[in-house]
Amino acid sequence: MRPRLPANALVMQIRSQVLSSINNFFVSREFVQTQPPIITSSDCEGAGEVFKLAPQGREHHFKTEKYLTVSTQLHLEALCQAVGKVWTLSPSFRAEKSDTNRHLSEFYMLEAEVGFTQSLEDVLSLCEDLIRSIAHDFRQSRFSDEWLSTKEDIELRLLESRWKWLLNPTQWKRMSYTEAISLLQKADVPFRFKPEWGHGLQAEHERYLAENFGGTGDNSTTTAGPIFITDYPKTLKPFYMLENQGSSSASSAHGKGSETVACFDLLFPGLGEVAGGSLREHRFREIVEAMKQHGLVAQDATDDSLGSMQWYADLRRWGTIEHGGFGIGFDRLLSWLIGIENVREVVTFPRWHGKCEC
């Protein structure tokens, strides 16, 4: 019965309008929309938080164990090498047992992959332009005023400030992971988790950075707004990210002995991470070594015995292009755009840990 409530019905209409805006944006940039598979042979992120398909009787339907996808990125990499630029909005699944207002077990990922790029800035700018275009089209639609008419004064001011951040034409702030850690360590804030170089940013760290150092980086009176955090340590990120050339010196300065990778997380005030992306490792030998380091293939695996990752490695083995891309949590972005704190409220039939009733 939830969709029959007027506010929920309006959210469905807004969701439809935003989907149309996304399609128009990618058409204008000459991207090809694709439909990658939902059933996969590997865990893209390597985190192990995947739903496994149960075998029928004693035999697996696909002979070996398969999973519901956590990301379509690996398949998009294959497709972009055929047509150059691709995107998709596909269901994704995470089996993590998080019960927060930001997590779902089934959600939608907006992902894009760009061929023939050597610059992380190309990927950052594409992600920024897309989100700004979504916000612009929504603000110009009749749904934004209808939505504002349902809000109280405090909520109105919050939404208008968010839309102002997104619509500001000045480039959003960029900051390296190393710079971010330095600022967090200097902050006069009793963080629950101590910020240290080589450790992941916690939600409290992400919110602090976005609320105190985000925005456009101009001379405006507020410092809150979107912020890109770039160049994380290699040990914190998935195997497929491209190592920064000459990054070991910056890493060794922190006594970690680890390189950084050409990647980013996009943080929003009041939410934290909403998008992430990187340049991809395009060299065969390096991608195989990265798979071994992350435990995706055996240490003694040969070039022809890479198991479920053989097809992905062979994309490099038989010739590839330099490329990069990103993924945006679509439901999370939508909830922030219209000021709904719980991401479950922008999904018609939400599923989360312990909850799947219909």
Token couple for 6 = 């007027």
Q: Which domain holds residue 119?
A: 2-282+321-345
Cβ-proximal residues to 24 (8 Å cutoff; 6+ apart), any chain:
137
Question: pLDDT higher for 98 or 162?
Answer: 162
Residue predicted with more confidence, 1 or 283: 283
Instruction: Give residue 222's pLDDT band: very low, low, confident or very high (50, 70, 90).
Output: low
> What Rg value do the Cα atoms of the chain yield, rounded?
21
In the chain, the number of structural domains is: 1
Cβ atoms within 10 A of the Cβ of 76, count? Answer: 23
Q: What is the model's pTM?
A: 0.93
In a domain? residue 105 = yes
Q: Is 122 part of a structural domain of the chain?
A: yes
The whole-chain average pLDDT of the chain stands at 91
- Rounded CA-CA distance 76/117 in Å is 15
Tens digit of each residue's pLDDT (9 = 90 or more) over 253-306 = 554 445 899 999 999 998 899 999 999 999 999 999 999 999 899 999 999 999
Does 300 fall in a domain? no
CATH of the domain at 329: 3.30.930.10
Task: Name the pLDDT band for 6 (thresholds 50, 70, 90).
Answer: very high
Cα–Cα distance for residue pair 242/282, rounded to 1 Å? 8
In-domain check, residue 31? yes
> Does 238 reside within a domain?
yes
Summarize pLDDT for 107-116 with one digit per residue, the tens.
999 999 999 9
Q: What confidence score (pLDDT) does residue 232 get?
A: 97
- pLDDT tens digit sequence for 12-52: 999 999 999 999 999 999 999 999 999 998 776 655 689 99
- Identify the pLDDT of residue 100: 82
Label each residue of 80-126 as H, E or C. Answer: HHHHCEEEEEEEEECCCCCCCCCCCCEEEEEEEEEECCCCHHHHHHH
In the 8-state DSSP scheme, what is residue 262?
S
Whether residue 265 is contained in a domain is answered as yes
In a domain, 24, yes or no: yes
Q: Is 260 helix (H, G, I), strand (E, B) or coil?
A: strand
Q: What is the pLDDT of residues 179-192, one digit of tens each?
A: 999 999 999 999 99
CA atoms within 13 A on the CB side of 262: 21
Q: Which residues does 339 contact at the CB level (< 8 Å), separation at least 6?
A: 151, 155, 158, 159, 162
In a domain, 298, yes or no: no
